[in-house]
């Protein structure tokens, strides 16, 4: 630590040898730690005329993920949220990923799709508001920004799955969403 109280030098964050997937470690016979969250058994008492409550497998996505856009169409991030949640549930990792992280990813990816649709509609070039000259469409910059944000969030989610999933898998739900994006352009 320097005299001014800041940390300098040392190892860079996220540097070094990346740890392997849990399924690969188990298959190779190496020592592996499976993150097992404790299950708390509660002792119940007779509640008499209590309400019969039903549990939920998936938390409801927040309302802003399905909010109506200015053109009247829904954002569609709630559908992405449900797909990713189902993908996590199939791998037994839904308890390990914070739903807010999933919501952030779903919104960023939905905005990326929205920007790509705008680029398809309005083109790659725009008109400067004051000079009237040709400029790059602002949707291109926004699309790149949302794609970068979505990818960073996806890497976080995928890393949690990779580190904690005991079954080997090859499919990736992000491939399905890209396929949907490419099919949507044909309309």
- pLDDT tens-digit readout, 98-136: 999 999 999 999 999 999 999 999 889 888 889 989 998
pLDDT category, 11, cuts 50, 70, 90?
confident
d(CA 22, CA 15) in angstroms, rounded, equals 20
The model's pTM is 0.61
Q: Which residue has the higher pLDDT, 7 or 84?
A: 84
Q: How far apart are CA 137 and CA 124, in angstroms?
A: 5
Within its chain, how far is the Cα of 151 from the centroid? 8
- On whether the CB atoms of residues 62 and 103 are closer than 8 A, the answer is yes
Higher confidence at residue 3 or residue 181? 3
What sign does the CA torsion over 113, 116, 120, 126 have? positive
What is the pLDDT averaged over residues 155-171? 79
Q: For residue 25, what pLDDT band results from cuts at 50, 70 and 90?
A: confident
- pLDDT > 90: percent of the chain: 28
Q: Which of 179, 172, 175, 180 is nearest to 90 (CA)?
A: 172
**Sign of the C-alpha dihedral computed for residues 53, 88, 35 and 159 taken in this order:** negative
């Amino acid at each position: 630590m320097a005299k001014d109280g800041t940390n300098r030098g040392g190892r860079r964050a996220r540097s070094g040898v990346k740890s392997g997937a849990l399924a690969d470690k188990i298959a190779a016979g190496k020592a592996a730690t499976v993150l097992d969250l404790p299950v708390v058994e509660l002792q119940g008492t007779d509640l008499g005329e209590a309400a019969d409550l039903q549990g939920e497998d998936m938390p409801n996505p927040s309302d802003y993920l399905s909010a109506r856009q200015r053109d009247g169409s829904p954002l569609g991030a709630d559908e992405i949220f449900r797909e990713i949640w189902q993908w996590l549930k199939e791998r037994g990792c839904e308890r390990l990923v914070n739903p807010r992280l999933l919501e952030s990813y779903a919104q960023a990816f939905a905005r990326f799709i929205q920007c790509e649709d705008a680029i398809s509609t309005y083109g790659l070039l725009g008109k400067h508001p004051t000079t009237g000259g040709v400029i790059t469409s602002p949707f291109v910059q926004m699309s790149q920004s949302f794609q970068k944000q979505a990818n960073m969030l996806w890497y976080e989610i995928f890393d949690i799955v990779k580190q904690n999933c005991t079954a080997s898998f090859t499919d990736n739900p992000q491939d399905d969403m890209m396929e949907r994006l490419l099919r949507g352009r044909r309309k």
